[in-house]
Amino acid sequence: MKEQKILVGNIRVNVKIAGDGQPLLILHGWGGSSDSWLKVQKLVALAKYRVIVPDLPGFGKTRTPLRPWSVTDYSNFVLKLTEKLELQNFYLLGHSFGGRIAVKFASSYPEKIQSLILCDSAGIKPKLGFKSGFVFTLSRIGNALFTPKIFSRFKDGARNFFYLFIRKYDYAKAQGVMKETILRVLEEDLMKELPQIKNRTLVVWGRRDKLVPVKYAYDFFEQIENSKIIILPKIGHSPQLEVPERLAEIIISFLRFEK
């Protein structure tokens, strides 16, 4: 295992690399880092793969972008990173927020990757139910009410409450540029991108995922033509931390089928 800094544009990116062989690039979730994939990275590397896990901009040991980024910005960053690393025909895995980026990348640059793994992936914008729809309406009214200068200092607190109420905990915890970044990210629905993905795809999900419920796993599976699905019973949103050995076995089995 080696850890190094790679300059991508104006950002010095922290990257962990383990093993030799066909490259697998792993994109971690929001609030995570390369550290959260350390066990899986080591296990997959032992199976003769070169496993690369960067700290995405704004996370881990990689600094925050100077301006708010969208999913497209992160996808373009991944493209530049792979060019720096001279990766060709590599495997791509995205978890949660990293799955959003992986979906955007695979639909934009299918020729760059050999196959795709989506692990408890975000990216499909949930439809508002009655409760969240009602709160959303209140938030729009509140936004108008807080516009006058006298009330403006309460606006961030009200927005935080709204996003906490609809389970967007990451928004409430984000700071500065990353707060606006997550707003851009959450607003984008990647459902329309899924049929454009032609690479062989594995959808792997924890049945007890409360952050991105398992029903979305079937949406990914149904919308991506050349895909298979594995549901992990009794597992939540982070299989890489809950059952790293089992997840590594699944990844290795999927990748070996490609050879």
Task: With cut-offs at 50, 70 and 90, classify the pLDDT of residue 39.
Answer: very high
Residue 127's SS3 state is coil
Which whole number is the average pLDDT over 46-73? 97
Residue 98, beta-bridge partner list: none
Number of domains observed in the structure of the chain: 2
Query: What is the pLDDT, as a whole number, of residue 153?
Result: 46
Residues 37 and 105 in one domain: yes
Percent of the chain whose pLDDT exceeds 90: 76
Is the same domain home to 28 and 88? yes
Q: What angle do CA 106, 20, 80 make, to 5 degrees?
A: 35
Verify that 251 and 202 share a domain, yes or no. yes
Is residue 19 left, alpha or beta, with left meaning phi > 0 and alpha meaning psi from -120 to 50?
Answer: left
How far apart CA 54 and CA 64 sit, in angstroms, is 14
What would the DSSP string read from start to end of 137-204? HHHHHHHHHT-SGGGGGGHHHHHHHHHHHTT-HHHHH--THHHHHHHHHHH---GGGGGG--SEEEEE
* 13-27, 78-92, 93-107, 171-185: segment of lowest average pLDDT: 171-185
DSSP class of residue 233? T
- Per-residue pLDDT reduced to its tens digit, 87-97: 989 999 999 99
Shared-domain flag, residues 213 and 91: yes
Same domain, 93 and 210: yes
Indicate whether 39 and 100 sit together in one domain: yes
Residue 156 has pLDDT above 70, yes or no: no
Same domain assignment for residues 12 and 29: yes
Question: What CATH number does the domain containing 21 carry?
Answer: 3.40.50.1820
What is the pTM assigned to this prediction? Answer: 0.85
Residues 16, 121: one domain?
yes
Q: Provide the pLDDT for residue 128.
A: 54
Containing domain of residue 156, as a range?
130-183
Are the CB atoms for 106 and 92 separated by under 8 Å?
yes
Answer yes or no: do 93 and 179 share one domain.
no
Spatial distance between the Cα atoms of 141 and 143, rounded to a whole number of angstroms: 5
Q: Strand 200-206's sheet: what is its strand order?
A: 2-8, 11-18, 49-54, 22-27, 90-95, 113-119, 200-206, 227-232
Q: Between 142 and 56, where is the model more confident?
A: 56
Residues 57 and 84 in one domain: yes
Looking at the structure, do residues 207 and 250 belong to the same domain, yes or no?
yes
CB 74 within 8 A of CB 108: no
Both structure tokens of 231? 């549901």
3-class DSSP assignment, residue 125:
coil
Cβ pair 26, 51 in contact under 8 A: yes
pLDDT band at 134 (very low <50, low <70, confident <90, very high): very low
Does residue 242 sit in the same domain as residue 150?
Answer: no
Across the chain, what does the average pLDDT equal?
Answer: 87
What is the per-residue pLDDT across 100-133, written as a single tens digit (0 to 9) for each? 999 999 999 999 999 999 999 999 998 754 444 4
DSSP SS3 for 95:
strand
d(CA 36, CA 119): 13
Q: Residue 170 — pLDDT band, cuts 50, 70, 90?
A: low
Of 170, 39, 18, the residue nearest 96 (C-alpha):
170
What are residue 89's phi and psi, to 5 degrees?
55, 55
